[in-house]
Amino acid sequence: MPELPEVETVARDLRPRIVGATIVGARCSWARTLRAHTPEAFAEAVAGRRIESVGRRAKQIVIELSGEAALTVHLKMTGQLFVVAADAPEDPYVRLVLELADGREVRFRDIRKFGKIALYGRDPVNGELTVEVGGAAVFAAIGPEPLDPAFTVRDFRRRLRRRKGRLKPLLLDQSFLAGVGNIYADEALWTARLHPLRTVGTLRPPDERRLFEAVRSILAEAIERRGSSIDDYTAPDGDGSMQERLQVYQRTGEPCPRCDRPVKRVVIGARSTHLCSWCQRLGAADRAGAAAILRGMTGGRRRPGGRWTELVGEGAVGLTPAEAERAARRARAEQTKRAAATRRAAARAAMAGSARP
């Protein structure tokens, strides 16, 4: 699922294309894409509004509209946004379309249909986006933006020390920090050399600082590289390249770039977690409570007497069962990756003609 860097990239790509445009209508072929409106009520409510700005909050795109309103777009698993000429062919995965006065359309394409779009008003008193006047703010429960220049290591520390529990689920908790998901949580923990099952209470001040810096630097680099094009994530200006820079995420069995031992995978809170159990040690205090989770860890051992070697393809002859299983997993992962790349290319081809005004 797209995380902060991916959503930020989509927002940045959209901005020069649609700011200043006026929405004249909308059509929606999958009513559940809309959080709060029926397709008819939504079309009526957005018509005539000008697009003032495009931003992001946590993992949602926020499109500010004239008349004290904003659209939020949650891409979820497979959501994609494109801006195309109105006469461009429309494929069946387009769930919602904003029709612009200049003859173009903003199309929300979403194969799995988990994506959500909502129209909210701004509370005249506090300026917050709300479902209704005087109601709860839409982003009230969301934690701070990790890349906000005003967000300091002191703030991070204060928030950490109010929490209990293990690091991985905490980083995924949007009320703790906005926008971090599975990919960048794993990468940040590896960079900071902190075990995902470590409990917050065992962190010393240098650990806290390393984690703060790792989260920020990885998110910043991922934005620079336009995010990680894994699965269906692509942006109006094309794919990202951060997937090539990921050190442990979805690299089970491959050598840790720091110590060469194989990257391990363990399921924590139903989420795949990737780590190096050599670089990311778990103290005795945490180990007892984590034993049940760690029993399910996979990723194999280092081959005796040598560096890790590639086990895909023709090399997979005469392997031990563990090696064969690893090779099969690698092959499956490659296949998944290729299928996703094909889907992204098809999405872009379907939206060919996507142009700036």
Catalytic (active-site) positions: 2-3, 59, 271
Pairing mode, strands 69-74 and 60-65: antiparallel
Q: Is 282 in the site for Zn ion (CB under 5 A)?
A: no
Segment contacting Zn ion by CB under 5 A, of 42-50, 155-163, 181-189, 278-286: 278-286
**Comparison of 258 and 271: residue with beta carbon closer to Zn ion:** 258
Binding part of the chain for Zn ion, among 19-27, 128-136, 255-263, 349-357 by CB under 5 A, reads: 255-263
Rounded to a whole number of angstroms, the minimum distance from the CB of residue 205 to Zn ion is: 23
194 binds Zn ion (CB under 5 A): no
Residue of 258, 302, 343, 348 interacting with Zn ion (CB under 5 A): 258
Contacts of 91 (CB under 8 A, 6+ apart): 109, 350
CB closer to Zn ion out of 106 and 256: 256
Tell me the closest approach of the beta carbon of residue 258 to Zn ion, in angstroms. Answer: 4
Q: Among 23, 67, 65, 17, which residue's Cα sits nearest to residue 43? A: 23
**Identity of the residue, 242 or 256, whose beta carbon is nearer to Zn ion in the bound complex:** 256
Interface with Zn ion, residue 276, by CB under 5 A: yes
| Smaller CB separation from Zn ion, 47 or 294 | 294
Task: Specify the residue, 56 or 168, whose C-beta has the smaller distance to Zn ion.
Answer: 168
Q: Which of 10, 100, 256, 282 binds Zn ion (CB under 5 A)?
A: 256
What is the smallest separation between the CB atom of 280 and Zn ion, expressed in angstroms?
Answer: 7
Q: Does residue number 15 form part of the binding site for Zn ion (CB under 5 A)?
A: no
Nearest to Zn ion of 114, 278 (CB atom):
278
What are the Cα distances from residue 128, in Å, to 14, 131, 144, 326?
Answer: 23, 10, 15, 50
Looking at the Cβ atoms of 88 and 248, the one nearer to Zn ion is: 248
Q: Which of 34, 200, 279, 290 binds Zn ion (CB under 5 A)?
A: 279
Regarding 192 and contact with Zn ion (CB under 5 A), the answer is: no
Closest CA to 299 of 259, 252, 250: 252
* Other C-beta atoms lying within 10 Å of the C-beta of residue 201: 12
Contact pick of 202, 278, 298, 312 for Zn ion (by CB under 5 A) = 278
Whole-angstrom distance, CA of residue 194 vs CA of residue 185: 11
Query: Under the criterion CB under 5 A, does residue 301 sit at the interface with Zn ion?
Result: no
Stretch in the footprint of Zn ion (CB under 5 A) among 48-56, 135-143, 149-157, 257-265: 257-265
| CB-facing half-sphere around the CA of 71: CA atoms within 13 A | 29
Pick from 31, 141, 259, 345 the residue near Zn ion by CB under 5 A. Answer: 259
144-153 contact pairs (CB < 8 A, 24+): 144/177, 144/178, 145/57, 145/58, 145/178, 145/179, 146/4, 146/177, 146/178, 146/179, 146/180, 146/215, 146/216, 146/219, 147/4, 147/216, 147/219, 147/220, 147/223, 153/208, 153/209, 153/212, 153/213
Q: Of residues 336-355, which lie at the interface with Zn ion (CB under 5 A)?
A: none
Q: Is position 189 an interface residue for Zn ion (rule: CB under 5 A)?
A: no
User: How far apart are CB 112 and Zn ion at their closest, in Å?
Assistant: 34
Binding site for Zn ion (CB under 5 A): 256, 258-259, 276, 278-279
